[in-house]
Amino acid sequence: MVLLNILGPPELCGRRRDTRITGGKLSKVAGLLAVRANQYVAMQTISEELWAGSPPRNELTTIRTHVYNLRRILESVQGEPPQARLLTRPMGYLLSVPAELVDVAVFKQGVTRGRVLLAEGRNAEAADTFRDALAVWRGSALAGVAAGPVLAGHVAELTERRASALEYRIEADLLAGRHRDLVPELRELVGADPLNEWMQARLIEALVRSGRSGEALRSFQDARTHLDEQLGLEPSIELRQAQHRIFAAANGQR
C-alpha cells in the first residue's frame, strides 16, 4: 500500500484511515517533505517555499507548528508499528519512509525498470511496466497545491518525467506490435497537443503499420497545416521521415 501520495491531490493512506492533506501551507510542507522523502530538508528551504524570501517574524514557530500537525496526521493514519516517521534534525526535518510507500518513488522505480527492459528488447514487458508506473498518477502532481518556488521546480520535473514515461510506453508498445491498439490513444493525444511532432510521427507510424496509409497521409497533412498556421514552421525531420514511410508503404516497400 502506498502511504504518501502526491502524484495527484496530496493524501496520506494508512491502515487506520486515508486522509487528504488540506490547508495551503500544511499541504506545501507535506508536499516538500514527501517529494524529498528520506532526504534532509532544511528549515530555510521550507521557509523559501512558504514565503518566497519574505518570511514573517515567527517563521520558525509557524514551520514547527505545521510539522507538528503533519506529524499528528501521519501518526493517526498509521497502525503499529509506524512505517513513516517525521524526524527532527538540526534546523530541518527528514521524512523517513520505505521507498515503496511513496508514489513518486514507485513511479520512478517503475520507469527505470521499464527502460532496462526496453534496452534488453523485452518490449511487451517494458510497455506494461511503463503502464503500471503511469497508473500511479491520479492527476497532476500536487494537484490543488499553490506551489511556491521550491515545489514548482519539483512539479515541473515530475510533469516532464510523466511525459517522458508516456513516450517510452508508446515506443515500447509500437515495438511490441501493438500499433492497432495505439491508434485511438494517439489520435486523442494528438488532438490535445497538435504541435507535438513526436506524437504526430508515432500516430503516422501506427497507421502505416495498420495498413491505413491514406489516413496516415491525412494526419501528416494536418500536422503540417498546424505547424504552418500556428508557428510558421515546416515539419521536422522526424515528421518528414514518417511521410517517407507512408509513400514507401503505398509502394509496397518496407
Q: Is residue 59 part of a domain?
A: yes
Q: Is residue 135 part of a domain?
A: no
Contact 186, 198 (CB under 8 A): no
Q: Is residue 38 part of a domain?
A: yes
Domain limit, last residue, from 44, 64, 97: 97
Domain limit, last residue, from 97, 119, 147: 97
Cell of 124: 511487451
| Count of domains observed in the chain | 2
Q: Is residue 128 part of a domain?
A: no
197-227 residue pLDDT tens: 999 999 999 999 999 999 999 999 999 999 9
pLDDT of 79? 74
What is the domain range of residue 239? 179-254
Residues 212 and 229: their CA atoms lie apart, in Å, by 26
Q: Is residue 193 part of a domain?
A: yes
Q: Is residue 149 part of a domain?
A: no
Contact 36, 137 (CB under 8 A): no
Amino acid identity of residue 83, one-letter, is: Q
Q: Among all chains, which residue has been given the C-alpha cell 518490449?
A: 123
Average pLDDT over residues 54-69: 95
Q: For residue 37, is pLDDT > 60?
A: yes
Q: Is residue 74 part of a domain?
A: yes
The string of DSSP codes covering 34-49 is HHTTTSEEEHHHHHHH
Domain limit, last residue, from 97, 113, 136: 97
66-77 residue pLDDT tens: 999 999 999 888
- Using alpha carbons, select from 56, 70, 60 the residue that is nearest to residue 92: 60
| CATH number, domain containing residue 39 | 1.10.10.10
